[in-house]
Structure 1
Amino acid sequence: MATKRWFTLLRNAAIGLAAAATAASFATPAVADQPPSTNVVGGTRAAQGEFPFMVRLSMGCGGALYTSQIVLTAAHCVSRTGANSSITATVGVVDLQSTSAKKVKSTYVYRSPTYGTATGGDWALIKLASPVTGLATLPIATTSSLNTGSFSIAGWGAASEGGAQQRYLLKAQVPFVPDSTCKAQGGSYGRLIPNAELCAGNVSAGGVDTCQGDSGGPMFRRDDAGAWIQVGITSWGDGCARPHAPGVYTEVSTFASAIADAAKKI
């Protein structure tokens, strides 16, 4: 099965094997010498400063600034909880080759203890060696009230299924897909974990989606006050932007308390 984030159902694999496979599949991406097309899985180029909370991680995943010193990403992007100084976070730019980029090493990783279980929980926290200054953080949803409508996605992942990862940050809009509709697409979608996973995309036509290398990045929308709120974490799916294969995202509100508690301890 071709997969969007390389692995469609890591939660069903042995954790040790998943960790090894993740490390291999999310190797640091090569960046293009020339600007990519503005069309990437139905998206367009993000403007500098448009999403200041976006983070590129050196293992080839995305993330968002949960606090000035903690990045929220996907559990399948990291191998375990513990001290870790091997990850570099690039922040503050849409162009990964920009000389203005801020690069900060990790010091610790917290991996959701429920990831790979029937409970779900594809989320992880990466603590940075020092706080990032001058950049907005991305608050997370604490209730399911925002888990509907149209969502924004962004990342430096592949421009097409199986393609190269990108130098420039790209963005797109994806519509909410109800759990029942998502499960009805069959295959792996039949094993969707309600309340732990959130689907989004154009079910009938496809054409808009996250892709390889976008794992761990945020899915977000405006709240009633117009502020950005993270509602999902790019997790898995079948291919990229295929019809009847929406993207599946960790439902952040379900794990908001666990994320907050873990952040206080690292």
Structure 2
Amino acid sequence: MCLRLLLSILVSIAGLACAARIPGPEERIVGGSYIPIEYVPWQVSVQNNSLHCCGGVIYSDRAILTAAHCLSNVTVTDLSVRAGSSYWSKGGQVLKVLKTIAHPKYVPKLYNPYDIAVLILEAPLRLGGTVKKIPLAEQTPVAGTIVLTSGWGYTRENSSFLWPILQGVHVAILNRTDCLKAYKHVNITIDMICADGQRWDTCQGDSGGPLIETTKGGHRQLIGMVSWGDGCGTNPGVYEDIAFFHNWIKYTVKKNIYKSIVKI
């Protein structure tokens, strides 16, 4: 994530932003392995001044979903999205961001409730084999569901170099009781879901990236979005629950894409 907001860092540094990221050589999903973009064609790299800072998910050819904290202290004119490549630094399609819309209840602070945002692109993506939108889940996943997450983030805590190739890892959804036990000092709000963070996890650089479930019918859907966690691979990862935001996402995209078309 453009900061997976490690709590230890957040306590000491307020208002970390995309622009503050300094690339280093060992960033990627913790405990994962290379995953080709063809397998996760909805994954994008959200970039600030052409440097990866967060993950994102293709909702439509003009709309990208990401974490709201990825937009802290950044200028929309500096933002772009790279889609259709397993590499954050080359290949695929690169489009500028026209507008950013964070959830109205999001307030930049520790633990990031309502940590979701929509990016409206200046031009439509060319959808195809390596660039695809993904449907939104309408129900919160049940505990024990095995899900897939991906990104270009750290492979361990306190690393500082962007891993160039996309990584993926499977994690299991935790029940709310276990999540609350792991985070006794944190208010796990109704918009959040947790996934097992023991050995396999997301980390800094993965924020805004997808959490994907494959249904019994073989269809894949977006059930979560990388938000935050205490450490990497040591405690549960916390994700925004897409089912909770389903109606807000649809309304926000429809409203703002119409406005952008009229403006153009």
Give the TM-score normalised by the residue count of structure 1: 0.82
Whole-angstrom CA distance in 1 between matches of 2:80 and 2:244:
28
Task: Give how far 1:28 is off.
Answer: 6.8
1:151 corresponds to: 147
Distance 1:74 1:119, change over 3 A: closer
2:172 corresponds to: 175
Whole-angstrom CA distance in 1 between matches of 2:214 and 2:184:
32
Aligned residues with identical type, % of pairs: 27
Out of 17, 22, 35, the residue aligned to residue 22 of structure 1 is 17
2:246 corresponds to: 256
Show the 5 A alignment for 1:179-218: 179-188=176-185, 190-193=186-189, 195-202=190-197, 206-218=198-210
Task: Give how far 1:227 is off.
Answer: 1.6
When the two chains are superposed, the root-mean-square deviation of aligned CA atoms in Å is 2.9
Distance 1:178 1:161, change over 3 A: same
Moved segments of 4+, more than 6 Å: none
The letter for the 1-side match of 2:59 is: Y
Partners of 1:146 and 1:231 within 8 A in 2: no
Partners of 1:80 and 1:111 within 8 A in 2: no
The letter for the 2-side match of 1:110 is: I
Whole-angstrom CA distance in 1 between matches of 2:254 and 2:80:
22
Which has the larger displacement, 132-141 or 249-258?
132-141
The letter for the 2-side match of 1:102 is: Q
Per-residue CA distance 1:176-200 (angstroms, 9 max, x = gap): 1111111112444x4111x310000
Out of 117, 120, 123, the residue aligned to residue 127 of structure 1 is 120
Per-residue CA distance 1:107-140 (angstroms, 9 max, x = gap): 0000001113999311000011111112210111
SS in 1 for 2:182: coil
Give the aligned length.
Answer: 243
Whole-angstrom CA distance in 2 between matches of 1:29 and 1:200:
26
Q: Which stretches in structure 2 are left out of the alignment for 5+ residues?
A: 257-264
Task: Give how far 1:40 is off.
Answer: 4.6
Whole-angstrom CA distance in 1 between matches of 2:183 and 2:240:
19
Partners of 1:178 and 1:199 within 8 A in 2: yes
2:68 corresponds to: 75
Give the TM-score normalised by the residue count of structure 2: 0.82
SS in 2 for 1:254: helix
Partners of 1:80 and 1:110 within 8 A in 2: no
Q: Which stretches in structure 1 are left out of the alignment for 5+ residues?
A: none
1:230 corresponds to: 222
Partners of 2:142 and 2:173 within 8 A in 1: no
Partners of 2:81 and 2:97 within 8 A in 1: yes
SS in 2 for 1:144: coil
2:262 corresponds to: none
Whole-angstrom CA distance in 2 between matches of 1:191 and 1:180:
12
Whole-angstrom CA distance in 2 between matches of 1:28 and 1:256:
33
Per-residue CA distance 1:186-240 (angstroms, 9 max, x = gap): 444x4111x31000014xxx11000000001011111232121111110011010
1:240 corresponds to: 232
Distance 1:137 1:186, change over 3 A: closer
1:6 corresponds to: 5
